[in-house]
Amino acid sequence: MRHGGEQIHVSLLAIPDVMVGTLSGLFDVLSCFELLGTFDDAVPTANPFLPEIVAPSRGIAPTASGLPVQAHRSIDEVTHTDVVIIPSLAVAQSKWRPGRYPQVVSWLSAMHAQGAVLCSACSGVLLLAETGLLDGRDATLHWAYAATFSRNYPEVHLCLDKVLVATGERQEFVMAGASASWHDLVLYLVARYVGPTAAQALAKFFLLQWHEDGQAPYVVFDARTDHGDAVVRQVQEWLTGHFPVASPVEEMVKRSGLPGRSFKRRFTKATGYSPIAYVQHLRVEDAKRRLERTDAPVDKISWAVGYEDATAFRRLFKRITHLTPSAYRRKFRIPDLAASAGRHAL
């Protein structure tokens, strides 16, 4: 709570694309201090935050989840706020269509001009970026929306490996990555405005997580195929089933019918990856599935995806995922209880 006992006003934005789970989760945590303060003296019993749901118009606000929410006020009624949060947004076919909420975009810019901290969870940054305030800055979001974000906002630098990004002259833009990283966002806000001890207490009470490994372990390699280059597309299709072969880049060049340098330049322009980097990502992606779903030793998996040198494979895997193969398996393996429940259901 700020000096003088004044609460920090938090505006949670509800537009028709909003996902209720993130919106309600953020609202619940920011509203819980009186309750939690009775369990842990690190948490003030007087709520330091005043959260409210705001929407383009007051009253019942539709959502992408189909579950309507009650907007406390319209954005036109909010002439000042301390923090704005844009929760996760549903993005049909993973393609964001800008220009649908000009009133909201103008309001976001006006709140920033008055000193508000603008935050986004997951795909909410797609709306935040429409203000132009992120141009030239770092940002993060759910990896599945990286392509549509980059097409719409090429001046913003995406850092997909980061779960949380705070940027701006006064750290006034705070963005969280994929869906559950709203945990990181709300814990950051509590640590920033109340203190790290209170944030730790909330994390323990709600089982919220700091995703300290970053977003890299969660990112699924999704190669571009809509680039319009038929030769590159044909090689990509072949590579999908043949990435473990020896000397894959040489084979790709041969199949393309192009000179080596020309092919590599053309492939990189079309996909955003050099041929060898593309192969490496395909191999690691396959290795991830094997680690998640089998008990095969790492050395055997290394061989299966195309690496005779298991040590080199381990180095590559960690460089791409930020985890060793063994750590990745521990993190993403289905727990025994869930696995046995699945077997009983069959």
pLDDT in tens, the chain (346 residues): 555 568 999 999 999 999 999 999 999 999 988 887 678 888 888 999 999 999 999 999 999 989 999 999 999 999 999 999 999 999 999 999 999 999 999 999 999 999 999 999 999 999 999 999 999 999 999 999 999 999 999 999 999 999 999 999 999 999 999 889 999 999 999 999 999 999 999 999 999 989 988 898 988 898 888 899 999 999 999 999 999 999 999 999 999 999 999 999 999 999 999 999 999 999 999 999 999 999 999 999 999 999 999 999 999 999 999 999 999 999 998 877 666 665 555 5
Mark 117-144 as b/e (b = at least 16 C-beta within 10 Å): bbbbbbbbbbbbbbbebbeeeebbbbbb
Q: Is residue 223 part of a domain?
A: no
Residues 126 and 147 in one domain: yes
Same domain for 78 and 21, yes or no, is yes
| Inside any domain, residue 340 | no
- Same domain flag for 45 and 164: yes
Residues 235 and 184 reside in one and the same domain: no
Position 67 in a domain: yes
Domain region containing 104: 3-218
Q: Estimate the share of the chain in helix, then strand, then coil, as percent rounded to the nearest 5.
A: 50, 15, 35
Q: Do 238 and 214 belong to one domain?
A: no
| 237/212 same-domain check | no
List residues bridging with 138 in a β-sheet.
157
- Quickly tell me which residue has 């990856």 as its tokens: 273
Whether residue 344 is contained in a domain is answered as no
Question: Checking DSSP bridges between strand 8-13 and strand 49-55, what pairing results, if any?
Answer: parallel
CA nearest to 281, candidates 248, 308, 311: 248
The answer as to whether 23 is a domain residue is yes
Give the residue from 104, 84, 242, 106 showing the smallest Cα distance to 175. 84
Angle, to 10 degrees, between the axis of helix 248-256 and the axis of helix 275-293? 130
Last residue of a domain, one of 185, 218, 251: 218
Q: What is the pTM of this model?
A: 0.86
> In whole angstroms, what is the distance from residue 292 CA to residue 332 CA?
6
Nearest one of 117, 13, 19 to 55, comparing CA atoms: 13
DSSP assignment of 226-244 equals -S--HHHHHHHHHHHHHTT
Return d(Cα 204, Cα 43) in angstroms, integer.
12
169 phi and psi angles, rounded to 5 deg: -60, -30
Cα–Cα distance between 67 and 193 in angstroms, integer?
Answer: 31
Looking at the fold, whether 30 and 124 belong to one and the same domain comes out as yes
Do 106 and 142 lie in one domain? The reply is yes
Q: How many structural domains compose the chain?
A: 2
The CATH code of the domain that includes 256 is 1.10.10.60
Beta-sheet strands, E only, within the chain = 8-13, 49-55, 59-61, 69-71, 73-74, 83-86, 117-121, 138-139, 157-158, 164-167, 173-176
Structure tokens at 52: 């409210």
Type of residue numbered 39: F
pLDDT on residue 248: 95
* 296 three-class SS: coil
pLDDT at 343: 57
Q: Say whether 89 sits in a helix, a strand or coil.
A: strand
Q: How far apart are CA 157 and CA 139, in angstroms?
A: 6
d(CA 147, CA 276): 21
